Amino acid sequence: MDQISAIAASGLRARLQSLDLLANNMANASTNGYKGDGEFYSLFTSDAAEPDANGDVARSPMIERQWTDFAQGLIQQTNNPLDVALSGKGFFTVKTPSGNLYTRNGSFHLATDGTISTEDGYPVLNTDGEPVKVDPKQKIDISPDGVVHQKGQELGKLQVVQFKDTTTLLKQGNTNFKNESDQKPAAAANVQVQQGKIETSNVNAAHGAVRLVGVMRQFELMQKAISISNDMGKKAIEEVAKI
Displacement of CA 14 from its chain's centroid (Å): 18
The alpha carbon torsion through 32, 81, 76, 69 (nearest 10 deg) reads -40
104 secondary structure, DSSP code: S
Tell me which residue of 34, 42, 100 sits closest to 72, measured CA to CA: 34
Instruction: Count other Cβ atoms within 10 Å, centred on residue 21.
Output: 19
The alpha carbon torsion through 46, 22, 32, 116 (nearest 10 deg) reads -40
155 three-class SS: strand
What are the pLDDT digits (tens) for 153-179?
Answer: 999 999 999 999 999 999 998 999 999
Return the bridge partners of 177, or none: 102, 171
Q: Which of 11-25, 49-63, 140-154, 160-174 has the lowest mean pLDDT?
A: 49-63
- Whole-model pTM? 0.80
